[in-house]
């Protein structure tokens, strides 16, 4: 599969370029990042194929024969780039967080129109996807729970996309409307109420991406925890999603749907 990477000079983008270069059925054909435009990609990612220069924008995509675009940028950029790629008939596998429901509706319409896949996944770590699923199962039996998500201090959004999706999955497993009212008024130190689930965000150097969901029941607690120890943890999920993409036209939110969970 011929793949382009948007945000190629970023922390995640570089890792994606490295991961693609190691797969025999993947070909990295285009790297886009205005912050490094014109630079040989190999200066950023020594494992990348020689001869690729980082591009300023995705307007070059049709000339590269890219079949899929991986996007790890920022919400404002993804809001522009994802519809453009879909319009070009290119599958999109995106990990960028902070997109809104209005964005997703527009992506769904374009993906349907062009018959290509658009995956928006807040977490590509397969273990994190399992953690969310296990939390949703636990919530059916132990409905009282809180989420603590811990990330590096440069993360722009809080709570994380993973924490928001986990809260949504828990609320839905508990059969509750997501009206945010369950927790009632509480001091800020009690975290943010997301559909009746309190979410606490920790930002500290040394952390990558971690989350625990703590359930409390009669005389017992259950803690489900996932740790991404470095950014390679996301790569098997990205490669899996690229291989799956042609089988799932239309918009999908969350990798768990393609994992059959
Ligand atoms: P980063 O700041 O290191 O990288 C973002 C890159 O995007 C930068 O190099 C920037 O120059 C580039 N960029 C900005 N505008 C662009 C445009 N128009 N076209 C192309 N590139 C553009 O950030 P990061 O840590 O790599 O994270 C990127 C995104 O991925 C964030 O939204 C983060 O929350 C998300 N993320 C998702 C997962 C997941 O599993 N889904 C995991 C980690 C991070």
To the nearest 10 degrees (0 to 180), the angle between helices 235-244 and 11-21 is 60
Q: In a 10 Å sphere around its CB, with 0-12 CB exposed, 13-18 middle and 19+ buried, how is residue 38 labelled?
A: exposed
pLDDT exceeds cutoff 90 at 185: no
> Which of 31, 23, 133, 132 has its CA nearest to residue 73?
31
128-132: average pLDDT: 97
Give, for ligand 1, the residue of 9, 36, 61, 74 to mutate: max count of ligand atoms closer than 8 Å to Cβ. Answer: 74
Q: Which residues fall within 8 angstroms of residue 24, CB to CB, at 6 or more apart?
A: none
pLDDT exceeds cutoff 90 at 112: yes
Antiparallel, parallel or unpaired: β 27-32 and 192-194: unpaired
Ligand 1 atom, smallest distance to 155 CA: 34
Give distance in angstroms: CA of 71 to centre of ligand 1: 7
71-93: average pLDDT: 98
| Active-site annotation, residues | 151, 155
- Here the tokens at position 203 are 């930002």
Lowest mean pLDDT among 16-20, 93-97, 153-157: 153-157
Give, for ligand 1, the residue of 18, 41, 92, 95 to mutate: max count of ligand atoms closer than 8 Å to Cβ. Answer: 95
Q: Which three-class secondary structure state does DSSP give residue 83? A: helix
- Please report which helix (H) or strand (E) contains residue 104, including its range: helix 101-114
Q: Is 7 in the pocket of ligand 1 (CB under 6 A)?
A: yes
Give distance in angstroms: CA of 133 to centre of ligand 1: 25
Residue whose Cα lies nearest atom 43 of ligand 1: it is: 12
For 34-70, write each residue's pLDDT tens digit: 999 999 999 999 999 999 999 999 999 999 999 999 9
Q: Is 121 in the pocket of ligand 1 (CB under 6 A)?
A: yes
Query: Within 10 Å of residue 7's Cβ, how many Cβ atoms?
Result: 26
Topology agreement, domain 2-120+232-257 and domain 126-229: no
Domain 126-229 of CATH type 3.30.360.10: yes
Domain residue ranges in the chain: 2-120+232-257, 126-229
Q: CA–CA separation, 156 vs 98, rounded Å?
A: 9
Give, for ligand 1, the residue of 6, 16, 33 to mutate: max count of ligand atoms closer than 8 Å to Cβ. Answer: 33
Ligand 1 atom, smallest distance to 58 CA: 19
Give distance in angstroms: CA of 86 to centre of ligand 1: 19
CATH of domain 2-120+232-257: 3.40.50.720
| Percentage of the chain lying above the pLDDT 90 cut | 91
pTM (two decimals)? 0.91
For 13-38, write each residue's pLDDT tens digit: 999 999 999 999 999 999 999 999 99
């Amino acid at each position: 599969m011929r793949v382009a990477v948007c945000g190629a000079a970023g922390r995640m983008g570089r890792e994606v370029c490295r991961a693609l270069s190691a797969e025999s059925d993947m070909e990295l054909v285009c790297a886009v990042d205005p912050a490094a435009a014109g630079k040989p990609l190999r200066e950023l990612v020594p494992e990348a194929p020689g001869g690729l220069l980082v591009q300023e924008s995705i307007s070059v995509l049709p000339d590269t024969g890219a079949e899929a675009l991986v996007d790890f940028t920022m919400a404002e950029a993804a809001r522009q780039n994802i519809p453009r790629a879909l319009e070009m008939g290119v599958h999109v596998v995106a990990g960028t967080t902070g997109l809104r429901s209005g964005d997703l509706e527009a992506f769904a319409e374009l993906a349907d129109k062009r018959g290509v896949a658009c995956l928006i996944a807040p977490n590509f770590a397969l273990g994190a996807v399992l953690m969310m699923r296990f939390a949703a199962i636990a919530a059916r039996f132990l409905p009282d729970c809180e989420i603590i998500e811990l990330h590096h201090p440069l993360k722009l959004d809080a709570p994380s996309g993973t924490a928001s999706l986990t809260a949504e999955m828990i609320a839905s497993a508990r059969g509750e409307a997501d009206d945010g009212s369950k927790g009632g008024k509480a001091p800020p130190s009690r975290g943010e109420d997301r559909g009746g689930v309190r979410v606490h965000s920790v930002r500290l150097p040394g952390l990558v991406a971690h989350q625990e969901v703590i359930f409390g029941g009669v005389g017992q607690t259950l803690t489900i925890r996932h740790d991404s120890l470095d950014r390679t943890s996301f790569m098997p999920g990205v490669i899996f999603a690229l291989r799956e993409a042609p089988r799932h036209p239309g918009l999908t939110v969350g990798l768990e749907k393609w994992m059959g969970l």
